[in-house]
Structure 1
Amino acid sequence: MNRFQWGETTADHGEIHVTSQTGVALYDGEEKTSFAGGVLSLTSHRLLWRDNHAKTSALCLPLQLVVFLEEQPSGFAKSAKIVVHLQEPLPGQPSGPVSYSKHNYIRLSFRDSGESEFFRYLNQMLKEKKWEEKVLPPARAGAQGGRHRPGIVGIERSIQQKHKQTDSSINQSFQDLKKLMEKAQEMVTLSKSIVSKIKDKQGEITEDETVKFKAYLLSMGIPNPVTRETHGTGDKYYQELARELAKVLDQPIKECGGMMTLTDVYCRVNRARGMELLSPEDLLNACEMFEYLRLPVRLRTFNSGVKVLQSATHSEEEIIKKTTNSVEEKGSLTAEELAQLIGLSVILAKERLLLTERVGGVCRDDSEEGLRFYPNLFLTKT
């Protein structure tokens, strides 16, 4: 915080206002400050923070002091933040609200959202470094009615500036094109691999297999994932996210026997969303909306604390019956053996056995060799 100075909100010559965001609080490192809920503005040269009552005076941070930025996404009861790492204060710097700070970074807490857009603009200003450009002050009006004639030097300088901006735009375009070409190369390699595997398959590929193959390709990603930027915050965001999750997970959950652990769901969903990753808190909050929205998927918590998503048509009676039959056919089963038998994770297999035990379908033998379940002869032989 000792890098901030007291200053005016009016722009200096050559300084351009970029964007503003309300509801921003300042942190000195990890420590809260009294500067909360104010307006944060970004110019081409400075960061400005003022409270809602101040109109002309503000805390000013020169962008030339910024070393690099980090994003801290929002979490449960936590707002999204931008971490601004700073170099040492400039010598002879004007006074500010704090004369000494043990931290070399500040945090900007966005309590009214808008963090992603502000982060993008701030990164752009740091790359452009407009504060390093020397801008001539406006010339005084001459004897010819105050009209300004730039002359040869001014025209050359204007041409050079336009060339510089054009070169910068071209360089950025080529960088984006290079990334696109790299991604295209990955897709070409992937397609060659798929073609090779298809050729290695014996016999002709049926129409049903072609349709199934296309379905698998479509299921690899979510084209337009729900984000806070597109759907806002709060319940509206979680409701739209819940609808997206139910649509994506309904069929995979049915294929897994009607149930999937929340950890598996987290991995699958984030793999499908690409760069728009979900936090565990957002995933859990969205899953808790399933029953309220009457979606075909439900969140369930077992007595052991394991959280799963299950199909709304999932029948516990059918699961208990199948588990009882499996144990009777094999004589006895552990959770690992049942998992291999029916193709489920060990966690879900154990929960099935415990559920069946609670209704008397099986009995347990907990010994040094581990937990093993047997048919309940007390019910079947009496």
Structure 2
Amino acid sequence: MDRFVWASGLLEINETLVIQQRGVRLYDGDDKTKFDLGTLLLSTHRLLWREQKKHDCCIALPLSQIIFFEEQAAGVGKSAKIVVHLQPIPPNKDPGPYQNSKYSYVKLSFKEHGQIEAGRVRAAGIVGIERKLEEKRKETDKNISEAFEDLSKLMKKAKEMVDLSKLIANKIKDKQGDISEDETIRFKSYLLSMGIANPVTRETHGSGTHYHMQLAKQLAGMLQVPVEEQGGMMALTEVYCLTNRARGMELLSPEDLVNACKMFEALNLPMRLRIFDSGVMVVQLQSHNEDEMIASAVETVSEKGFINSEEYAKLVGISVLLAKERLLLAEKVGHLCRDDSVESLRFYPNLFLTQD
């Protein structure tokens, strides 16, 4: 037991857990110790014992200190054990529970079984652990290969869907064949359900400013209706989710989305990127009337007497984030005042403006 050192019980960097077993008692040679009932953890670097009731009591033995293992079968009134034969104490050993011991081995007594699994590495020591890890690695590689095989099938199917959407888009554009107005409307609804037919990508439009300009034009066209339905303003997080859902496999990075949205005003597109004082970023229509939005918020608060962001969001059908920003804008221009309590942040009409 004098080879054990005190430990935190946490795995170190690059250390991997191999196996663990509850109900293990430690013996100093043939003598019982106070380490009576704990969890034994075998990692790639150490053998750890941690008390089950007091997790802060943990000791560890480096695997480099182990010469070999051997098993002792269970007997009448005796539990199965594993005998761990140890190297001499190293000169730079850290503090541990025992300073000296007359034994050069310890015993692990398994009250709840598990000695067979823990003893599988006894013959080869560290080599056995490495072999076990190698088997796990091969199994992981096999699972990854199978996953990528399934992914390849999915990508093939996605390509077929993209080709189909392009065909429909071209038919709508050129009105080839006998496509009636009703069919055109139906095809458009199919196209909307599939997403963006020809998403702007770096492969098709290069990189840098040109890519972001083309992306901005496509975003403006796609977002026009959804932003109008949100009252002329949509949080950038919602724009990100909506855009990537429509693009399918050609996902946008947050950075590319922000850079494209910054191009709206320079390209004279019908929307712009706006950043509130709180740091919240939204896409807003150029035609959006902020005075009307503030007046609507003030009217709602006046009718209710007071309101918080969650209640206002439900009433007008927008996100809580945007609801709060609208109320804060009305407060900023002096039409509302706040009561910030432990219950919630509530907004009230500013009576100083309406009462003498």
The higher radius of gyration belongs to 2
Q: Give the TM-score normalised by structure 1.
A: 0.45
